Amino acid sequence: MNRTEYVDPRDGPLLPASFAPPAPRSVPPGSGGFAFVPSAELLAQANVTAFMRIQGIADYPTLIARSATQPDWFWAEVERFLGLRWMHRYHQVVDISRGLPWAQWFVGGVINIADNCLDRHLAQGKGDRIAIIFEDEAGAIERWSYAQLAQQSGQLAHLLKELGVGSGDAVGVFLPMVPQAVVALLAIARIGAIFVPIFSGYGEDAVAVRLADADVRVLLTCDGYLRKGKAVAIKEVADAATRNAPTVRHRIVLSHARLREDVPWDDQIDLWWDDALLGRPSDVPCAQTSSEHPFMIIYTSGTTGKPKGAVHVHGGFLVKIAQEVAFQTDLKEGEIIHWVSDMGWIMGPWLVVGSLANGGTIFLYDGAPTHPDPGRLWRMVSAHRVAILGVSPTLIRSLMPSGDAPLAGVDLSGLRILASTGEPWNPAPWRWLLDKVGQGRCPIINLSGGTEVGACFLSPTPVLPLDPCSLGGPALGMCIDVVDEECHPVRGKVGELVARFPWPGMTRGLWRARDRYLETYWSRWPAVWYHGDWASIDEHGFWYLHGRSDDTIKVAGKRLGPAEVESILANHPAVAESAVVGLPDPLKGQSIACVVQLVPLRQGSPQLATELADLVADELGKAFRPAVIHFVPDLPRTRSAKIVRRLVATVLQGGALGDISAVGNPEALEALRRLAH
């Protein structure tokens, strides 16, 4: 089917056949003018290069254009290239007859994520390969083969079925990043139930909302875990949450922190994980799930209202995520990949499904990456020979004040690829990661998507040259654009990031919230996904993000994103991080307020505040001189380390905070409140 045959039943042809989002230009090795240029070896050996050779495509911009305008061709060829296994092959790549918001992919296909992540590899005689390397905060290390992972997940699948869990039933997973969290994902997928991951740091209210909304039947949790050397009694949180989630009939409890003697227990509902699996058969065949069968409900953090449950399915999520891990992070079979995340954030399932589908090895760490010191992460990367490392800009900004000393004597030669997600970069941390950690030879694969996206809108691959903070361009197979308020394409200035056509990993609506899904993503412009991010495309075709469009500050009619001011502040040697928000101003509409965390040993003062305000005014103009600068010991962040600007603005305006269960350090909000009022 040609791209021009795709018709939106409401509006006629969706896009002209000539449409192609601009892509960064390819350059030969050794070309100047970029912060990173791929070596000849990297270009030759990249997975995406192998795909282009097979397809007879000469350069990356051509691949980007063709993948965006011929998604049926691209996704069919990708799943064949990756060797994914279908129980019954699909007869149509994509069906948009119900409208773009309800697109279906791989129509008529039968496929199961657990089959592709485990059984397929065992059938190829690869059961002895290492699937997981695990290290806990105390330093204990475990190694799990694909065969061991298959046995454990098969036993758990058998137990879940015995407890009455069937196809389409929801199972909650409230665990830290331990191997059993991977076991849980695969066991649930195996029987066609729905995986509901919940961030391991949530309080009881946040857990209860998710359990109740998804009608969770069984909750998988543990007794506790260590975080910065202190025991977190997660079982107590699970118990309290379950009291407000009446559909939960059983709790399966892993003895992880060895708190067994002190754990509150209810024989009517609680089962010890190891006891329940002991001697249980593991030969549970994978359910024959259709490509559109729900695999996961994963919730947003909920800092701006009731959490949204994004629904992801077996076919689309598997194909999209396996492609991203293969092409964007260039994972080779048997290589080790680590992402600093949690199973409750989209990068947790992304890591598991993408790595195992490609025959890789996942490195899991259960603990704080800065404990007992800022060198912990680098020592683990060295000791386990991690090849691909995923971080957030916030994590790197928090490590930079410790200087280069934690990297001294650490062998990072095994690293090939650095990757990041979560928020826009500032130039200084981006360069520190490239130069100090990657030693100038590892590309930073800066990707951006979201829980509802299920994957990425924007991302480079290792074959592209890079400029600081750039996201390269549209991710492969994604029909992405930057538009003005009338949805006309804009180039060379900031606009709204949108998607003009669906993609396989897209959420299949929001759980029990059809109207909210349409209102949030599809109501601003006809047949266009509105994402809520500011983006721009420069003269080289490089794409950049500038923060959330609902975080935009409008001073005297002029708009700017918080990241523009935060990047300027980050250039000052006293500044570790900052959060910039807009406050109501009777004259200008809004004024700029900056909440600044200083590097260790620096103290805030009126003189320093003036110096920082002058710095912003010199760069952006006097109209954008900050009206308020506060110095704080820490910035309020979600438990995945994102700075919560909306709550910063609420505190500064004296408003009610509402649900702050997603905030990992609520004491920072209280400190800011005392300072501001």
Task: For CA atoms 223, 188, 520, 494, give the dihedral sign.
Answer: positive
- Candidates 227, 368, 291; CA nearest to 88 is 291
Query: What's residue 519's pLDDT?
Result: 93
Please state the pTM of the whole predicted model: 0.86
**Predicted pLDDT at 548:** 75
For residue 570, give both structure tokens. Answer: 């980050």
> Within its chain, how far is the Cα of 43 from the centroid?
26
The C-alpha atoms of residue 216 and residue 480 are separated, in whole angstroms, by 35
Q: Determine the pLDDT at residue 510.
A: 96
- Compute how many other C-beta atoms are within 10 angstroms of the C-beta atom of residue 499: 20
- 101 in Cβ contact with 525 (< 8 Å): no
Per-residue pLDDT of 410-461, as tens digits, reads 999 999 999 999 878 888 899 999 999 999 999 999 999 989 999 899 999 9
**CA–CA separation, 585 vs 555, rounded Å?**
9
Can you give the pLDDT at residue 26? 56
331-353 as b/e: b if 16+ CB within 10 A:
bbeebbbbbbbbbbbbbbbbbbb
Closest by Cα among 281, 270, 54, 258 to 159 = 281
Instruction: Report the SS3 class of residue 337.
Output: strand
What pLDDT score was predicted for residue 147?
Answer: 98
Task: Compute the distance between CA of residue 98 and CA of residue 103 in angstroms, rounded to an integer.
Answer: 7
Tokens of 48: 């995406």
Beta carbons within 8 Å of 280's beta carbon, 6+ residues apart? 155, 158, 159
- The single-letter code of the amino acid at 209 is V
With contact defined as beta carbons under 8 Å apart, do 655 and 620 qualify? no
Identity of residue 4 = T
pLDDT at 21: 54
| Distance of alpha carbon 302 from alpha carbon 108, whole angstroms | 35
Considering only CA atoms, give the Rg of the chain: 24
Please tell me the total number of residues recorded for the chain in this structure: 677
Q: Taking a C-beta distance cutoff of 8 angstroms, is the pair 589, 626 a contact?
A: no
Neighbours of 240 (CB within 10 A): 15
Token pair in block for residue 610:
């003036």
C-alpha angle 241-246-251 in degrees, rounded to nearest 5 = 60
**Banded model confidence at residue 334, pLDDT cuts 50, 70, 90:** very high
Q: What is the pLDDT of residues 508-541, one digit of tens each?
A: 999 999 999 999 999 999 999 999 888 999 887 8
Residue type, 38: P
Which two structure tokens, joined as six digits, stand for 309?
Answer: 């449950």
Contact assessment for residue 445 and residue 462, using Cβ atoms and an 8 Å cutoff = yes
| pLDDT exceeds 70 at position 645 | yes
Rounded Cα–Cα distance for residues 584 and 475 (Å) = 37
The predicted-structure confidence for 222-281, as pLDDT tens digits, reads as follows: 999 988 888 888 999 999 999 999 999 999 999 988 766 688 999 999 999 999 999 999
- Picking from 256, 203, 199, the residue whose alpha carbon sits closest to that of residue 226 is 256
CA-based nearest residue to 63, from 49, 45, 47, 46: 49
CA-closest candidate to residue 496, choices 559, 590, 420, 426: 559
Distance between CA atoms of 449 and 169, rounded to whole angstroms?
27
Q: How far apart are the first and last CA of the chain?
A: 62
Residue in the structure block whose two tokens are 């760490």: 365
- What are the chain's domains? 553-676 (3.30.300.30)
Evaluate if residue 5 carries a pLDDT over 60. Answer: no
pLDDT digits (tens, 9 = 90+) for 88-147: 999 999 999 999 999 999 999 999 999 999 999 999 999 999 999 999 999 999 999 999
What Å distances lie between residue 500 and 101, 107, 536, 594, 646, CA to CA?
A: 11, 21, 16, 35, 28
Distance separating alpha carbons of residues 582 and 132, to the nearest angstrom: 45
Name which of 21, 22, 26 is nearest 59 in CA terms: 26
Are 528 and 511 in contact by the 8 Å Cβ rule? The answer is no
pLDDT of amino acid 676: 78
How many other C-beta atoms are found inside a 10 Å radius of the C-beta of residue 11?
11
Looking at residue 140, its pLDDT comes to: 94
Beta strands in 414-570 (DSSP E): 417-420, 444-446, 448-449, 456-458, 480-483, 495-499, 529-537, 543-548, 553-555, 558-560
Burial of residue 161, with CB atoms counted within 10 A of its CB: 0-12 exposed, 13-18 middle, 19 or more buried: middle
Strand partners, 49: none
CB atoms within 10 A of CB 518: 15
Contact between 296 and 194 under an 8 Å Cβ cutoff? The reply is: yes
Q: Give SS3 for 406.
A: helix
Q: What is the pLDDT of residues 64-76, one digit of tens each?
A: 999 999 999 999 9
Q: How far apart are CA 437 and CA 382, in angstroms?
A: 11
Contact indicator for 26, 58 with CB cutoff of 8 Å: no
Task: Assess whether the previous peptide bond of 372 is cis (omega < 30° from 0).
Answer: yes
